[in-house]
Amino acid sequence: TNSVVIAVDGPVAAGKGTLARRLADKYGYAYLDTGSLYRAVGAKVLRAGGDPADAGFATRMAESLEDSDLTSKDLRSEAVGLAASKVAVVPGVRAALLDYQQRFASQPPGGKPGAVLDGRDIGTVVCPQAQVKLFVTARDEVRAGRRHKELMDKGENVTFERVLDDLRRRDEQDRARSAAPLRPADDAHLLDTSDLAIEAAVAAAVDIIARKL
């Protein structure tokens, strides 16, 4: 269809979610946090007492994913994030989630004229035809600082070093996998948010989008 798609990819805690949500608001587009799908699969595996690295089990959990799995409260925890990046290497899991994401992009809910999707492989695999592709990055320490603050605010008591370590481990796993690895699409615009407040990051993204649409 002729729905406009904005792809927002990048590593852990680069600011993708906040930016993508703000862009969706600004343009009146639908927003999909694709990481929450992988998190829901990871959480479902953990709840069932399974091993996230067990490809067959993780694939069955992805194929039987329901709306109620997406609203579970523990999705944003570090443990679920790590489980998500383990199930995300499994091709069967990725295949099970692909159709939902592509349908969201081509027929955004609520009859909206466009969609913003954030994740790791939106510009490369899910929506290679997206009109705008942003690849959002920030220095490791900056990302860990943001994630650490978010966790502390929620009452999860973790050290900065632990968060930095988890984030590097998760990025490494996301970059090294053979199925849809984390990488910028050839036609992606890089946006480093290390020294940008959210308003400035939104303004920079809007500049890029204005040149593409």
Judged by CB under 6 A, the residue of 22, 44, 120, 147 near ligand C5P is 120
Q: Nearest to residue 81, comparing CAs of 206, 211, 174? A: 174
Nearer to ligand C5P, 12 or 209 (CB): 12
Site for ligand C5P in 167-206 (CB under 6 A): 170, 174
Q: Which stretch binds ligand C5P (CB under 6 A): 46-54, 77-85, 106-114, 190-198?
A: 77-85
Is residue 135 a contact point for ligand C5P (CB under 6 A)? no
Residue 159, amino acid: T
Tell me: does residue 81 bind ligand C5P (CB under 6 A).
yes
Does the protein bind ligand C5P through residue 39 (CB under 6 A)? yes
Interatomic CA distance for residues 169 and 78, integer angstroms: 12
How far CA 162 is from CA of 2, 46, 84, 182, in Å, comes to 44, 21, 18, 22
Query: Whose Cβ is closer to ligand C5P: residue 2's or residue 122's?
Result: 122
Tokens of 100: 């939902």
Q: What is the DSSP letter of 73?
A: G
- 12 near ligand C5P, rule: CB under 6 A: yes
Angle between helices 16-27 and 198-212 (to 10 degrees): 60
Shortest Cβ 90–ligand C5P spacing (Å): 10
88 binds ligand C5P (CB under 6 A): yes
CB atoms closer than 10 angstroms to residue 93? 28
DSSP-assigned letter for residue 120 = S
User: Which of 20, 34, 146, 147 touches ligand C5P (CB under 6 A)?
Assistant: 34
Q: Is 119 in the site for ligand C5P (CB under 6 A)?
A: yes
CB 104 within 8 A of CB 115: yes
Contact positions vs ligand C5P (CB under 6 A)? 12, 34-35, 38-39, 81, 84-85, 88, 119-121, 170, 174
